[in-house]
Chain A
Amino acid sequence: MLKVRDQRDFWSGILFMAFGCAGLWFGRNYAIGTAARMGPGYFPMMMSLALLGIGGFILARSLVAGSDTIERIAFWPQLQVLAAILAFGLLIERVGLAVSVAAVILISGFSAQGLRWHELIALALVMAAVCVGLFVHLLGQPIPVWVR
């Protein structure tokens, strides 16, 4: 039974190989051509093969050498950050800038250590006003402020 000695290298290897495979698979219909007349598939194929090869090497090496482990991951805060960004993306064209900004603040700051809820709401209101003022009025970007 093989043992993973280096966790970071192990997962890096997997990641690179996954990208290499994806590159080959989704690029399978692009014409490859010859070295003298490269088709649109030539360069991506070379890159994908390189990724597969190097990824494989890193993966193999992680089984025989090294001792790195992945540092602690604070799961919930990270999820909040990603959820906040996604919420902004989903809301911006439906409800406009002001509400979307407030949503980002509320979602990302929710249950943050030492941040009381009234502080959070105040921060959301202030940032919404600042963003509307800065991006829409000062920089003149055509971002919808309110959408009904």
Chain B
Amino acid sequence: MDILSNLAVGFGAAATPLNLGFCLIGVMLGTAIGVLPGIGPIATIAMLLPITYGAPPLGALIMLAGIYYGAQYGGSTTAILVNLPGESSSVVTCLDGYQMARKGRAGAALSIAAVGSLIAGVAGTIVIAGFAPMLARVSDKFLSPEYCALMTFGLVAAVVLAHGSAIKAIAMVFLGLLLGIVGTDVQSGVVRYTFGIPELYDGIDFVPLAIGLFGLSEIMRNLDQSAIERQVRHVVGSLWPTREEVRQAWPAVLRGTGLGTVLGILPGGGAVLSSFASYVLEKRISRTPERFGTGAPEGVAGPESANNAAAQTSFIPLLTLGIPSNPVMALMMGAMMIQGIAPGTAVITDRPELFWGMTASMFIGNLMLIIINLPLIGIWVRMLQVPYRILFPCILVLCCVGSYSAQLSATLVIMLAVFALLGYVFVKLGCEGAPFILGFVLGPLMEENLRRSLVLSGGNPVIFVERPISLALLLASLALIALIVMPRFRRTREQAFQE
């Protein structure tokens, strides 16, 4: 009954009027920005990071988590209503969600997505509550070599799951690691790659980097495309699914939840992988696979539940090991460090109110999402109709002010311009930002743990294969690499990303 008393602590911390307010603001803002086409959770979180500075640590984390699933929900809304995925995890939702909308069942598709997400979110929260402390105990056995191996595994997984060219993704990881160590070297005190700019002494600031690479580069990419047509032509219709739709959807919700929960915990896993996997699973086991792609409720219910469950459980590696498993978690880690919290085992033991409060707030946030957002769907639809030419200067302003307020320094705004340009070049060259940001966040940790491991072993790399946990992680990484090299898997991977 440990979990129950811990959760009680969490709900006590999260249910104060102030924190409920933060949760509400996060969920609303996340949905509002996430609804904008082409702007997924990563860009949304990056742009809204500055809003959380003023809040106390727990409030800021609650707001950020709210922004995250708000943004995800917003992404599904655009997928269903205008067939434009906010980000890759809602690509699958377009397939059947938009078809349901064309049949006049948009309202039902939105409700199914929302209720599925809620169920999955609750399940994910329970898994975090039960599983995280266990994993935290295991991680007590972790020394530098294990951390190195774990990070390697996470980075390899990020490469395998990146879209497009795997070799470019590997290069992006290395580039991220290199830029991650800019600043003062903790061990020797040597200041590296700062070019005498004081703002770089503590490393490249996370805020302009994330906003530039994930927010602005998206906006700039949109500017290259001729006016995007995104009119909502279909009536939302009744929010209530029919009995038949419920019958088809609920087993898919449960399967999606289970699948997403498991895949979310894996490094490199998370929302994208699980929504794809869930769609494939639903289609495979369906007695009528031909209905998929023409508006099958299972095709919405499964992936939407799976990506929300995974979104939830992907917090586990971050909160227990201090290792982000995907780019969104890398942003979360950056946000935690801005708040002065070092993610990792210490969070659970030293600041239980923070860990359990955040876990409890995920539950509350998911509930808020459904209570608030379904009736508000009309507002989101109207937001979708605001022309892009008005939206984009406003988004640009938010990005500038956000970067400036990170350190109240105009240099950061100049850095924002540099990273916007770099991000845009990456987009044009087909280089993925996700492996880069993971490498960037892990850079200093990787260097430190590599150094420590080799000090332990006197410079002998055998230390990484002598220790069982480290060996297992490295073998798993090798297996993943073997997978991408194998032609059969490569074809499936390309196929999966093409849909």
Contacts and interface: CB of A to CB of B under 8 A. Distances in A.
A97 interface: yes
Q: Classify the secondary structure of B's interface with A.
A: helix
Given A12-B430, A85-B417, A108-B392, A78 B192 contact: no
Interface string A128-143: 0001000100011111
Contacts of B447: 43
B421 interface: yes
Interface string A33-67: 01111111001100110110011011001000000
Nearest to B458: A36
A143 B405 contact: yes
Those 6 A-B pairs whose CB atoms lie nearest each other, nearest first:
A36-B459, A89-B413, A35-B459, A40-B190, A47-B178, A85-B417
Contact of A74 (B224, B392, B429): B224
20 contacts: A12-B171, A12-B430, A23-B193, A40-B185, A43-B177, A43-B446, A47-B178, A51-B178, A54-B171, A58-B171, A74-B224, A81-B219, A81-B396, A85-B400, A89-B412, A92-B410, A112-B389, A114-B389, A139-B54, A143-B404
B58 interface: no
A2 interface: no
A44 B177 CA distance: 8
B450 interface: yes
Interface stretch (B162-170, B230-238, B239-247, B297-305): B162-170
Given A38-B454, A86-B417, A104-B396, 14 more contacts: A30-B190, A35-B461, A38-B451, A47-B175, A78-B424, A86-B414, A89-B411, A89-B413, A89-B416, A93-B410, A123-B390, A141-B53, A143-B404, A143-B405
B408 A143 contact: yes
Interface string B147-180: 0000000000000000001011011001101100
B413 A73 contact: no
B484 interface: no
Contacts of B430: 8, 12, 68
B396 A43 contact: no
Contacts of B446: 43
Nearest to B457: A36
Contact of A51 (B171, B227, B404): B171
B188 A113 contact: no
A8 B427 CA distance: 10
Nearest to A115: B389
Contact of A85 (B223, B387, B394, B416): B416
Interface residues of B, number: 65
Interface in A102-133: 104-105, 108-109, 112-115, 119, 123, 127, 131
A23 B447 CA distance: 16
A50 B220 contact: no
A101 B397 contact: yes
A133 to B, nearest CB: 12
B185 A115 contact: no
Nearest to B178: A47
Contacts of B220: 77-78, 81
B428 interface: yes
Given A9-B165, A51-B178, A92-B410, A78 B450 contact: no
B155 to A, nearest CB: 12
Nearest to A119: B390
Contacts of B394: 105, 123, 127
A8 B429 contact: yes
A122 B90 CA distance: 35
A3 B195 CA distance: 37
B396 to A, nearest CB: 5
Contact of B431 (A12, A51, A81, A143): A12
A70 interface: yes
B383 interface: no
A115 B167 CA distance: 42
A123 B387 CA distance: 13
Contacts of A81: 216, 219-220, 223, 396, 420
B474 to A, nearest CB: 17
A37 to B, nearest CB: 7
A75 to B, nearest CB: 10
B393 interface: yes
A105 B192 CA distance: 36
Contacts of A84: 393, 396, 400
B404 A92 contact: yes
B455 interface: yes
A49 to B, nearest CB: 9
Interface string A6-47: 001101100110010001001100110011111110011001
B396 A85 contact: yes
Given A12-B168, A47-B174, A34 B400 contact: no
A109 B391 CA distance: 10
A34 B223 contact: no
B485 interface: no
A81 to B, nearest CB: 6
B187 interface: yes
Contacts of B188: 31, 39-40
Contact of B393 (A86, A93, A127): A127
B325 to A, nearest CB: 22
A70 B170 CA distance: 21
Given A30-B190, A40-B188, A142-B408, A73 B428 contact: yes
